[in-house]
Chain A
Amino acid sequence: MEKMTGISNSGQIEELQNALTQTIEKARHETDDRVKRKLFVQIENYNSRIDKLRSGRLISRQTRRNLVAYSFIAPNFIGFCVFTLIPIVFAFALAFMKWDGSNPISFEGFGNFGRLWSDTFFKAALKNTIIYCIGTVPLTMVASLALAIILNQKVFGRGIFRTLAFFPYVASLVAITSVWKLLFHPSKGPVNNILYTFFHVPQEELPQWFSGSLVVVSMILFSVWKYMGYYMVIYLAGLQGIPGELYEAAALDGAGTWNQFRYITWPQLSSTTFFVVVMLTINCFKIYDVAVMLAGGGSGELTVSATVLVYYIYQKAFIDWDLGYSSAIAMVLFLMVLVVTIIQFRGQARKEAA
């Protein structure tokens, strides 16, 4: 019996091996990528079958391969799972609970979400966050695109300019906001001083950069300044992917700079722009430290005109200890991000289909 299997095995193996060598030969000479990939799958298939027959091992080749793959993922995944995934599941559950972090949890259902609509501070936070997004996203996009286009040309000192543009992104918020606050100090700062001396803005009308309706404007200005270097790099990468021939052809046709931009650069960059807009929006929703450090003063408290969603999440969680409610607000934030992400996926899918 044993011998029989052995014989039939060796016959099978030989057969398979022949097929394998043929396929490898074929693959070597194949030029079409798609066919080639199919052949590779076949090779793997043969390999695994031969392997299984030869060794008669308990663990199949596929299982072994799975294990190898998991061993690659494990170090990161374990940390990721414990410190990110589990808390996220927990956060979802908390949104439907009432808990102060110490006493027993009670089930709240959708009560937390019901409270949102009558909460003045939540509405103010939501409104400010959205206004901030609407202001920051287009401005940053335009500024970073313009900068990228300029820096993609052969200009003198290009490297230095690129580095400079990235400085604000690299600088720490605590340090850089402290400078901004002095620069825009309502009564002593250089900016208002210039407005006063050179533009003769009367003293009472000097802008109060960090209070009232101007807070959000300051936040927007600051964010554009700080983050445009980052998005510029992304646009630069996108620009470098546009084939030069397109421009050469356009130049031969006599297209001016503007037309070149309109008919080549902009359409070619559409996927980059899409990505930039989505990333920007998501990051804008998450705004917290910019608001606290620019408008929070020493104690870091934000008034109705400067409060943002994440600040309110933090306050409800770590000051009022209303963890369920805080998670419910976080869910609103998550939903907003989710909507933007879905739009991105849809857009990408459409682009790929086209």
Chain B
Amino acid sequence: MRSARKRAILGKVIVYLLLIIIAAAMITPFLWMFSAAIKSDREVFKMNPFVFIPKVPKWSNYLDIWTRIPFAKFVENTVFLTIVVTILQLLTSSFAAYSFAKLRFRYRNGLFLAYIATIAMPWQVYMVPQFILMRKMGLNDKLLAIICLQAFSAFGVFLMKQFYESIPDDLCEAARIDGLSEYQIYRKIMLPLSKPALATLIIFTFVNTWNDYLGPLIYLKTQEKKTIQLGLKMFISQYSSDYGLIMAGSMLSLIPVLIVFLCFQNYFVEGVANTGLKG
């Protein structure tokens, strides 16, 4: 009996040790980033002794970044893009997914196969033809290009469809018998039920759009249209040795995503579990 308890305690200790090590590995780069962002360039690499917060913290780095590059403009563009893309993605995918999950119609399987097939298709495979096409449509160097690029992903439809399929059909049938139209069923029954899936989709879309680099790199050329990621990369290549500033900029770019994630994370595991993302 005693040895069993001992073993249980030992087990706990190991588990916590592991957890602490992993958590440390996860968080160290962020802490280091935070610390470097308030240091001067000379202090950044100083190791012996390492100080987490320097005696004279250079909070001014957080202010300087706004004047060195048009950071405010980048933030504005990114916020605009992310919000529009997320809303469009949510609406159109949940709409289409409802149809795929709950309605029977001609060519349903064929159409859905088209979606599935493109999920496995890396974007890079068709980015060139896509670019040529978009430019013909006059979308080059327009924020709208990124919206078109991101807002209609097959992934969103797939994710929402998987979730809707986990909602019993009887619910819809009952509603139909009660005389609700399909649009009403979608709005009054499905949408309120799909909060976890929507939250999951919000996190994915938000994170993807906010952090996208290659898309904006190809489509957005002029300074006034650039996003935070492009701006940050530009800043890094121009002021390569202003480590403090680079870290401050990076820090700022993380905050909105973290906020969104923290807001929706409660639904997240549930969302993943019910959307069949686990297989």
A and B touch in the complex (CB under 8 A): yes
- Residues in B whose Cβ lies below 8 Å from that of A161: 19, 22-23
For residue A336, which residue of chain B has the nearest CB? B122
- Residues in A whose Cβ lies below 8 Å from that of B29: 168, 176, 179-180, 183
- Residues in A whose Cβ lies below 8 Å from that of B265: 162-163, 166
User: Across the interface, do B247 and A83 meet the contact criterion of CB distance under 8 Å?
Assistant: no
User: Across the interface, do B129 and A90 meet the contact criterion of CB distance under 8 Å?
Assistant: yes
* Given contacts A240-B269, A241-B273, A76 and B157 within 8 Å (CB-CB): yes
The answer to whether the Cβ of B44 comes within 8 Å of any Cβ in the partner chain is yes
Q: Report the minimal beta-carbon distance from A225 to chain B, rounded to whole angstroms.
A: 7
Tell which of A107-115, A116-124, A204-212, A270-278 binds the partner.
A270-278
The answer to whether the Cβ of B62 comes within 8 Å of any Cβ in the partner chain is no
* Given contacts A91-B129, A237-B273, A323-B128, A164 and B15 within 8 Å (CB-CB): no
* Given contacts A165-B26, A173-B213, A298-B240, A237 and B122 within 8 Å (CB-CB): no
Given the complex of chains A and B, what is the CA–CA distance between A155 and B15 in angstroms? 9
- Residues in A whose Cβ lies below 8 Å from that of B15: 150, 153, 155
Q: Which residues from 100 to 131 on chain B have a C-beta closer than 8 Å to any C-beta of chain A? A: 100, 103-106, 108, 111, 114-115, 118, 120-130
User: Across the interface, do A179 and B250 meet the contact criterion of CB distance under 8 Å?
Assistant: yes
Q: A50-81, CB under 8 A of B: which get 1 and which 0?
A: 00000000000000011011101101110110
For residue B108, which residue of chain A has the nearest CB? A69
Q: Report the minimal beta-carbon distance from B6 to chain A, rounded to whole angstroms.
A: 14
Q: A35-50, CB under 8 A of B: which get 1 and which 0?
A: 0010010000000000
Q: Which of A178, A190, A237 contacts B277 (CB 8 A)?
A: A237
Q: Which residues from 170 to 194 on chain A have a C-beta closer than 8 Å to any C-beta of chain B? A: 170-176, 178-180, 182-183, 185, 188-190, 193-194
User: Across the interface, do B257 and A172 meet the contact criterion of CB distance under 8 Å?
Assistant: yes
Task: Report which residue of A83, A241, A285, A341 has the largest number of chain B beta carbons within 10 angstroms of its beta carbon.
Answer: A83
User: Across the interface, do A168 and B26 meet the contact criterion of CB distance under 8 Å?
Assistant: yes
- Residues in A whose Cβ lies below 8 Å from that of B273: 236-238, 240-241
Task: Give the total number of A-B pairs whose CB atoms are below 8 A apart.
Answer: 280
- Residues in A whose Cβ lies below 8 Å from that of B236: 174, 178
User: Across the interface, do A80 and B115 meet the contact criterion of CB distance under 8 Å?
Assistant: yes
Q: Which of B22, B30, B246, B272 contacts A171 (CB 8 A)?
A: B30
Given the complex of chains A and B, what is the CA–CA distance between A271 and B50 in angstroms? 46
Q: Interface of chain B, helix or strand or loop or mixed?
A: helix
The answer to whether the Cβ of A169 comes within 8 Å of any Cβ in the partner chain is yes
User: Across the interface, do A225 and B232 meet the contact criterion of CB distance under 8 Å?
Assistant: no
Q: Report the minimal beta-carbon distance from A62 to chain B, rounded to whole angstroms.
A: 8
Given the complex of chains A and B, what is the CA–CA distance between A161 and B19 in angstroms? 8
Q: Report the minimal beta-carbon distance from A320 to chain B, rounded to whole angstroms.
A: 12
The answer to whether the Cβ of A101 comes within 8 Å of any Cβ in the partner chain is yes
Given the complex of chains A and B, what is the CA–CA distance between A83 and B152 in angstroms? 8
The answer to whether the Cβ of A313 comes within 8 Å of any Cβ in the partner chain is yes
User: Across the interface, do B23 and A164 meet the contact criterion of CB distance under 8 Å?
Assistant: yes
User: Across the interface, do A87 and B279 meet the contact criterion of CB distance under 8 Å?
Assistant: no
Given the complex of chains A and B, what is the CA–CA distance between A317 and B246 in angstroms? 31
Q: Report the minimal beta-carbon distance from A297 to chain B, rounded to whole angstroms.
A: 9
Tell which of A3-11, A130-138, A259-267, A327-335 binds the partner.
A327-335
User: Across the interface, do A79 and B152 meet the contact criterion of CB distance under 8 Å?
Assistant: yes
Q: Which of A65, A87, A91, A172 contacts B254 (CB 8 A)?
A: A172
Q: Which of A69, A88, A274 contacts B121 (CB 8 A)?
A: A88
- Residues in B whose Cβ lies below 8 Å from that of A302: none
Given the complex of chains A and B, what is the CA–CA distance between A173 and B254 in angstroms? 10
Given the complex of chains A and B, what is the CA–CA distance between A69 and B232 in angstroms? 44
User: Across the interface, do A173 and B211 meet the contact criterion of CB distance under 8 Å?
Assistant: yes
User: Across the interface, do B240 and A317 meet the contact criterion of CB distance under 8 Å?
Assistant: no
Q: Can you list 13 A-B contacts (CB < 8 A)?
A: A68-B183, A77-B96, A82-B133, A155-B15, A173-B211, A174-B211, A179-B250, A193-B47, A237-B269, A241-B273, A272-B278, A286-B124, A327-B125
Q: 3 tightest A-B contacts by CB?
A: A275-B279, A175-B250, A79-B152
Q: Can you add 7 more A-B contacts, CB < 8 Å, to A84-B130, A85-B118, A334-B122?
A: A84-B153, A161-B22, A171-B257, A178-B236, A179-B36, A182-B36, A273-B279
